[in-house]
Amino acid sequence: MKFFIGLLIGIGIAGAVAFYLNKAQNPFVDKGFNNNGVNLTTSTPVSSAPLILAPGTKMQQASSAPTAQNKPEASTPSYDFYDVLQGKKDINPKPTASSVSEAATPSFIVQAGAFSEPDLANNMKAKLALLGFSSKIKSQQINGKIINRVIIGQFTTEAEANDLIAQLKQQDINATLINNSN
């Protein structure tokens, strides 16, 4: 007998909770629209077509046939992370040629590591890329052995290069300043 009374009370409580939840306003529903998709502020029906979301574009609604009015205006996204890691592209575009010849100005680079294994050099380059530094791998043959040097930048002042070395030291990367002017 106690079992049936408990069962009836449980069913009653569950029914009351379900009734309350169905009558309460849903916080996840936009209050400007009713259940039929009609905008309550303008009384115009809303399309149930999927939304087109592209990088760099505003939200717009898709229709069944593309027209000039609803084409996304975003260009194809460019993913250059792999090109930067392989040294094909530089993160920071090089400035245009200046009136001062580059041979006359001092030039400094920072060497973040020198490795005999190309994989280790690529790992260091990837680590630097994740930290936000653009680096290159220069391979050089010394005494019959190929050395892969991971270098950063072309700095005109020694102070700029030393600032970078200090930033790398904070990330536990030992770097060396190299005077690159000939």
CATH code of the domain occupying 91-179: 3.30.70.1070
Q: What is the mean pLDDT of residues 85-89?
A: 68
Which contiguous run of DSSP H or E holds residue 136? strand 135-142
Q: Would you place residue 147 in the very low, low, confident or very high pLDDT band (cuts 50, 70, 90)?
A: very high
Nearest to 114 by CA among 153, 151, 152, 148: 148
Cα angle for residues 77, 83, 86 (degrees, 5° grid):
165
Q: Domain ranges in the chain?
A: 91-179
pLDDT reading at 12 higher than 90:
yes
Contacts of 133 (CB under 8 A, 6+ apart): 112, 152, 164, 168
pLDDT reading at 6 higher than 70:
yes
Q: Would you place residue 64 in the very low, low, confident or very high pLDDT band (cuts 50, 70, 90)?
A: very low
Cα angle for residues 50, 55, 57 (degrees, 5° grid):
70
What are phi and psi for residue 148, nearest 5 degrees? Answer: -100, 110
pTM: 0.43
